[in-house]
Amino acid sequence: MDIQDLRKQSAQELNGQLLELRREQFNLRMQKSAGQQTQTHHFKRVRAEIARIKTLLTQKSAAK
């Protein structure tokens, strides 16, 4: 997702997306351990999205 779109969202929405991405990350790890994961680029994408959202949440809380 684009950073511009994320900035427009509220902290509640960002927390919801963060939870969703954490679940996806967990599922990817389970697939990897079961030997089903062949597209390893998804790990990097999810990790980067989580970092983006956490950064925005920190910025929003510091702005208050």
Burial (CB count <10 Å: 0-12, 13-18, 19+), residue 3? exposed
User: What confidence category does residue 63 fall into, taking pLDDT thresholds of 50, 70 and 90?
Assistant: confident
pLDDT higher than threshold 80 for residue 64:
no
What pLDDT sits at residue 1? 74
User: Going by C-beta distance under 8 Å and a sequence separation of 6 or more, which residues neighbour residue 15?
Assistant: 57
Provide the pLDDT for residue 37: 82
Q: For residue 12, how many C-alpha atoms fall within 13 Å in the half-sphere facing its CB?
A: 0
Domain 10-63: give its CATH code: 1.10.287
Distance CA 62, CA 33 (A): 38
pLDDT in tens, 29-56: 999 999 998 898 999 999 999 999 999 9
Output the pTM of the full model: 0.90
pLDDT value for 61: 92
Domain ranges of the chain: 10-63
